[in-house]
């Protein structure tokens, strides 16, 4: 009965109709999503896809950061994938990153450049990336040579020591999606490798993400894109009650389910660009459920980055070079102020979907 009331309320579909002759005719009802334990379900996806991508780590959602770290520590992962492709990594330092994850003696200051020297200033404060690279290094120490994981840095190879003006910087920033697509084509798709791609979903939504639009011209149907549950813009409490029995965390598919039949506006959250017209979450295949929206926790920024005076000074220098507008996260003081005001939850009070 709940399904009927929900479907009639949302207009997703009708439960029954009447033919012109007056006899009832059945209309298909979208199935309830099969929500499986997330790690098991996600790893099983690789039996049908070359890449699982998305989940938007290092965007402030502690639940997804913690899930991904636990997934990478899963003993099954190295026997399922060959590569972890990371948005938060400067490809200029790929040789250093390869040596580090292979277990060679690389100073901490050298490997920190991988995530601190990208085109994204806030990335340098990421606790996810400062854990990701050391964790892969440690995982590899227990693996035979043929199973060792490789981490690919996807951000353009910007050398901040050579950036002298805004044009120098924007020449790299404008090529972010081109860099992502090129590295994935060269190092994953053409080599028939399987990759867990940890990246903001906006880059790789089918038909929408700029990186996906580039590489899917040559490699269509190879990527399973996952987005995270962050609440529904409409009837959130009603819909979350339908998910009450789901495992936490869990992964479900959109296709053929009531999730996929929701109007896309249900996934348009305050402060984000509106979803394009359509059903479900346009461009996404899977839905990651980590907790009800108001239980999602905020991921604090890195204490080691905050205390690194040389790094903070370098960020101030970069902000001046690119002529960043005041009040933007280019300035460490702005990031610190945001951190002070954030609180423990991903959504502050009053930010309900």
The per-residue pLDDT for range 197-206, each reduced to its tens digit, is: 999 999 999 9
Alpha-carbon 97 to chain mean position: 21
| Same-domain pairing of 83 and 204 | yes
Helical segments of the chain, H only = 2-10, 38-45, 62-72, 94-101, 108-116, 127-141, 166-173, 176-184, 210-215, 236-241, 258-261, 303-306, 309-321, 332-342
| Same-domain pairing of 229 and 128 | yes
pLDDT of residue 28: 54
- List the CATH number of the domain containing 161: 3.40.50
pLDDT interval class at 35 (50, 70, 90): very high
Distances from the Cα of 335 to the Cα of 117, 286, 302, 306, angstroms: 17, 32, 11, 10
Domain count, the chain: 2
| Same-domain pairing of 132 and 17 | no
Structural domain span for residue 13: 1-30
| Same-domain pairing of 201 and 138 | yes
DSSP state for residue 190 in the 8-state scheme: T
Closest by Cα among 72, 91, 74, 79 to 131: 72
The per-residue pLDDT for range 36-83, each reduced to its tens digit, is: 999 999 999 999 999 999 999 999 999 999 999 999 999 999 999 999
pLDDT of residue 3 exceeding 90: no
Distances from the Cα of 334 to the Cα of 69, 160, 338, 340, angstroms: 28, 21, 6, 10
The per-residue pLDDT for range 154-164, each reduced to its tens digit, is: 999 999 999 99
| Same-domain pairing of 4 and 74 | no
Rounded average pLDDT over 171-182: 98
CB 226 within 8 A of CB 55: yes
pLDDT of residue 349 exceeding 80: no
Closest by Cα among 148, 213, 150 to 180: 213
| Same-domain pairing of 333 and 190 | yes
pLDDT of residue 223 exceeding 70: yes
The per-residue pLDDT for range 233-292, each reduced to its tens digit, is: 888 999 999 999 999 999 999 999 999 999 999 999 877 889 999 999 999 999 999 999
Rounded average pLDDT over 344-351: 82
**For residue 249, is it within any domain?**
yes
pLDDT interval class at 352 (50, 70, 90): low
pLDDT of residue 273: 87
| Same-domain pairing of 196 and 258 | yes
pLDDT of residue 350: 65
pLDDT of residue 7 exceeding 80: no
**For residue 259, is it within any domain?**
yes
**Interatomic CA distance for residues 49 and 223, integer angstroms:** 6
| Same-domain pairing of 103 and 159 | yes
The per-residue pLDDT for range 187-198, each reduced to its tens digit, is: 999 999 999 999
**For residue 352, is it within any domain?**
no
| Same-domain pairing of 25 and 41 | no
**For residue 136, is it within any domain?**
yes
pLDDT interval class at 4 (50, 70, 90): very low
């Amino acid at each position: 009965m709940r399904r009927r009331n929900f479907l009639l309320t949302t207009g997703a579909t009708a439960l029954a109709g009447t033919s012109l002759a007056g006899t009832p005719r059945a209309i298909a009802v979208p199935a309830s999503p099969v929500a499986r334990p997330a790690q098991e379900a996600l790893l099983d996806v690789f039996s049908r896809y070359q890449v699982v991508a998305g989940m938007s780590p290092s965007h402030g959602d502690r639940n997804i950061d913690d899930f991904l770290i636990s997934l990478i520590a899963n003993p099954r992962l190295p026997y399922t994938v060959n590569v972890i492709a990371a948005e938060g990594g400067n490809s200029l330092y790929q040789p250093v990153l390869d040596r580090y994850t292979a277990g060679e003696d690389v100073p901490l200051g050298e490997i920190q450049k991988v995530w601190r020297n990208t085109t994204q200033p806030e990335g340098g404060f990421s606790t996810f990336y400062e854990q990701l690279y050391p964790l892969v290094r440690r995982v590899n120490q227990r693996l035979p040579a043929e199973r060792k994981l490789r981490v690919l840095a996807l951000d353009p190879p910007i050398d901040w020591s050579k950036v002298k003006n805004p044009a120098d910087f924007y020449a790299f920033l404008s090529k972010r999606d081109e860099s992502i697509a090129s590295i994935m084509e060269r190092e994953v798709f053409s080599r028939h490798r399987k990759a867990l791609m940890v990246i903001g979903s906006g880059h790789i939504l089918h038909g929408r993400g700029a990186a996906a639009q580039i590489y899917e011209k040559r490699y269509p149907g190879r990527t399973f894109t996952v987005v995270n549950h962050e609440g529904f813009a409409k009837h959130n409490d009603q819909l979350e009650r339908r998910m009450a029995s789901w495992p936490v965390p869990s992964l479900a598919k959109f296709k053929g389910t009531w999730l996929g039949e929701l109007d896309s506006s249900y996934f348009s959250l305050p402060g984000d660009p509106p979803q394009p017209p359509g059903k479900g979450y346009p461009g996404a295949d899977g839905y990651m459920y980590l907790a009800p929206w108001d239980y999602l926790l905020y991921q604090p920024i890195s204490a080691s980055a905050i205390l690194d005076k040389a790094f903070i000074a370098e960020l101030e220098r970069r902000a001046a070079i690119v002529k960043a507008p005041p009040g933007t996260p280019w300035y460490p003081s702005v990031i610190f102020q945001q951190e002070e005001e954030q609180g423990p939850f991903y959504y502050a009070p009053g930010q309900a979907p």
